[in-house]
Amino acid sequence: MNEEKSLSDNKKSRKIAFLFPGQGSQYVGMGSSFYEDFEMARNIYHEANDILGFDITKLSFEGPAEKLTQTNYTQPAILVHSFIGMKLLQNEGILPHFALGHSLGEYTSLIAGGVFDFSTALLLVKERGRLMHEVVPSDGGAMLALLGGELEKAEKLCNDIEGVLEVANYNAPGQYVLSGERKAVEQASSIAREAGFKKAVMLPVGAPFHCSLLIEASEKMSQVLESTEFSSSNIPICANVTGKLVSEASEIKELLMKQIRVSVRWESSVSSLADQNISAAIEVGPGKVLSGLNKRILKGLPVFNVENKESLESTLLALEGLE
């Protein structure tokens, strides 16, 4: 009895942040473990198929990878996977006190905060993906992760190379993402080491996100968001645009309307949790990209991930040991 009470008290005293990944984290087979092992997951995937009007379940599990990488498919696929992971955690009594989502993931964080429901979010990201896919430049555009260098050097690359090339993501100390026209991005990749970076990696994404090439998509998505009802969040949400905590419906909507075309301030978002007495963060969805970034930003904060049954079980076990 005392042990049970202690575990219950421990759950109540913990403060957990949920992290939701964005595009680039997808992989063929994501979500299949949830589908096989949990009836709730099967029901959610079937619901998503009906809402979207196409078989997101088969595409997530079987690919092909080229199609899954197209932004109009990637976005709903990742959101569904992350939403299921969140529901499974909530069923175990693990509730978020804060929610952060990287780009697309911000929509899942808004579900976590009760700003809108799953079906609304899924329809929004379906439209977001369609609009972004439609305005992809003829050369496809591209995005490049720069690792092990200073921000000033990333900004200098953008200024020195001809064509559209902008800092899209301020991810962590020494890690930045450039976005723009393919030729410009490829040129940046070819001289990244010379410019002072240890590594440069082209990202598996279907469009040049968070740069001025997507202004048209941003304007059209703003109209969609304007006509969507938002509620104030019941937990603090970190906004990508500012990297600051928000909860009021009007402010959340205003910032989300800007999100497609401006940079993701992920380092600032995570840093905003530094004084919040967080016990742990859980990345919910495909991959461990955010887990790696968070360990660079808030060193010492335990970070777990939930993307399949095995990682769910190991995270639940680890959380039991937290004070």
Ordered by start, the domain boundaries in the chain are 9-135+212-320, 142-202
81 catalytic residue (yes or no): no
Residue 102's nearest CA partner among 169, 162, 4 is 169
Whether 314 is catalytic is no
Return contacts of 217-222, CB within 8 angstroms, 24+ apart: 217/128, 217/131, 217/132, 217/134, 217/135, 217/260, 217/261, 218/257, 218/258, 218/259, 218/260, 218/261, 220/131, 221/127, 221/128, 221/131, 221/257, 221/260, 222/257
Name the superfamily (CATH) of residues 9-135+212-320: Malonyl-Coenzyme A Acyl Carrier Protein, domain 2 (3.40.366.10)
Q: Are strands 16-20 and 98-101 parallel, antiparallel or unpaired?
A: parallel
Residue 72: count other Cβ atoms within 10 Å of its Cβ. 20
Residue of 25, 60, 82, 103 marked active site: 103
One-letter amino acid at 61 equals F
Does 9-135+212-320 match 142-202 in CATH topology? no
**Of 3.30.70.250, 3.30.420.40, 3.50.50.60, 3.30.230.10, which CATH number belongs to 142-202?**
3.30.70.250
pTM above 0.85, yes or no: yes
pLDDT for 3 equals 43
Q: Which candidate in 25, 102, 210, 233 is catalytic?
A: 210
131, 75 Cβ separation under 8 angstroms: no
Residue count of the chain, please give it. 323
Please list the pLDDT of the chain residue by residue as tens digits (323 residues).
344 433 344 455 689 999 999 998 999 999 999 999 999 999 999 999 999 999 999 999 999 999 999 999 999 999 999 999 999 999 999 999 999 999 999 999 999 999 999 999 999 999 999 999 888 877 779 999 999 999 999 999 999 999 999 999 999 999 999 999 999 999 999 999 999 999 999 998 888 999 999 999 999 999 999 999 999 999 999 999 999 999 999 999 999 999 999 999 999 999 999 989 999 999 999 999 999 999 999 999 999 999 999 999 999 999 998 85
